[in-house]
Structure 1
Amino acid sequence: MHICVFLSAADLGERYTRPAREFAELLGKGGHTLVWGGSDSGLMKVVADGVRASGGRLVGISVELLREHAREDTDELVITENLAERKALLLSRSEAIVVLAGGLGTLDEATEVLELRKHGLHRKPVVLLNTEGFYDGLILQLRRMEDEGFLPLPLTDLVHIAADGAAVFAHLEESAASDHRPPGTPGP
């Protein structure tokens, strides 16, 4: 499975890097391909290193303005002209999306894929890995949106919230089992 991971390129402490490494190891050992922003720094590097060390493939999709930070030892590296093109390519090249801890770029990417899913423009599972309660505030806001009628469908139809990497992969396996496409076939 090609799994797009949105996450930070910032250097973070052990409370975020340890769970990211554990997630990366599960991704790699599962024979999956990491589709990510292509950076060789921060949490992005931690995950790419973990996937590579565990036998997974790396597909980096970077952007011209960040070319100097792109990881060179990928199985495939694509450089886009702008961030909008990068986001579209990250989504189109994946079968599932997992959101790890990140900043404004990660939040932008996550909300865009949720908006597209809300409108039925893709059916790919979206999982929010809530490491150390990082997304508690966002989850609270999303639930408020649901409770007050701002979401046209249940929050659980948009995003799955997971506490750890094992829960992420359990959900992805469940989603794949309920999907009738042949394994490895990208969805809309």
Structure 2
Amino acid sequence: MNICVFLSAADLDERYTVPARQFAELIGRGGHTLVWGGSEAGLMKVVADGVQDSGGRLVGVSVEFLHMKARKNADEMVIAADLAERKAQLLLRADAIVVMVGGTGTLDEATEILELKKHGLHAKPVVLLNSAGFYDGLKQQMRRMDAEGFLPVPLDDLVHFADTGEEAMAYLMENAVV
């Protein structure tokens, strides 16, 4: 399975790096491919290292203005012209999507993927990996959107919130069409 992971390239606390590394090792040990932003920095590096060290493949999609930060030893590296092309390439190459902790860029990627799914433009499973309760507020907001009629499809059909990497991987294994 090609698992796209959206996440931060920042250097983060171990409450985020440890679960990220554990999920990365599940990807690698399962013989899956990580499809990610291609960066050799921060949490992106932690996940890429974990996948590669555990026997998985790496497919990076960097962007022209960040190409100098791209991982040199990825199995494949695509350099997109801009962020919109990058997101399109990440989705195209993925069988499933996992959103890990991140900032505004990660949130942008997550909301675009969910918007496309809401409109039926893809049916890939999407998981928000809620490490250390990072997405508790977003989960609450999305439940409110669902309850108050802002979502044309049930929230559970759009996204699955997982508290652990094991839960995230189990959901992907049950729901991804490869």
The CA distance in 2 between the partners of 1:169 and 1:37, in whole Å, is: 20
Residue 158 (structure 1) aligns with: 158
Partner SS state of residue 77, structure 1: strand
Partner SS state of residue 94, structure 2: coil
**Which stretches in structure 1 are left out of the alignment for 5+ residues?**
none
The CA distance in 1 between the partners of 2:174 and 2:93, in whole Å, is: 21
The CA distance in 1 between the partners of 2:15 and 2:4, in whole Å, is: 22
Q: Percent identity among equivalent residues? A: 70
Q: How does 1:28-107 map to 2 (within 5 A)?
A: 28-107=28-107
The CA distance in 2 between the partners of 1:124 and 1:67, in whole Å, is: 27
The CA distance in 2 between the partners of 1:108 and 1:172, in whole Å, is: 22
**Which stretches in structure 2 are left out of the alignment for 5+ residues?**
none
Alignment size in residue pairs: 178
The CA distance in 2 between the partners of 1:77 and 1:26, in whole Å, is: 22
Q: Runs of 4+ in structure 1 displaced over 4 angstroms? A: none
The CA distance in 2 between the partners of 1:106 and 1:79, in whole Å, is: 18
Q: Which whole-Å deviations, capped at 9, do the CAs of 1:85-120 have from their partners, x for residues lacking one? A: 000000000000000000000000000000000000
The CA distance in 1 between the partners of 2:7 and 2:173, in whole Å, is: 21
Residue 113 (structure 1) aligns with: 113
The CA distance in 1 between the partners of 2:168 and 2:139, in whole Å, is: 16
The CA distance in 1 between the partners of 2:63 and 2:173, in whole Å, is: 31
Partner SS state of residue 71, structure 1: coil
Q: Is 1:11 matched up with 2:11?
A: yes
Q: Which whole-Å deviations, capped at 9, do the CAs of 1:47-99 have from their partners, x for residues lacking one? A: 00000000000000000011111100000000011000000000000000000
Task: Give the TM-score normalised by the residue count of structure 1.
Answer: 0.93
Partner SS state of residue 4, structure 1: strand
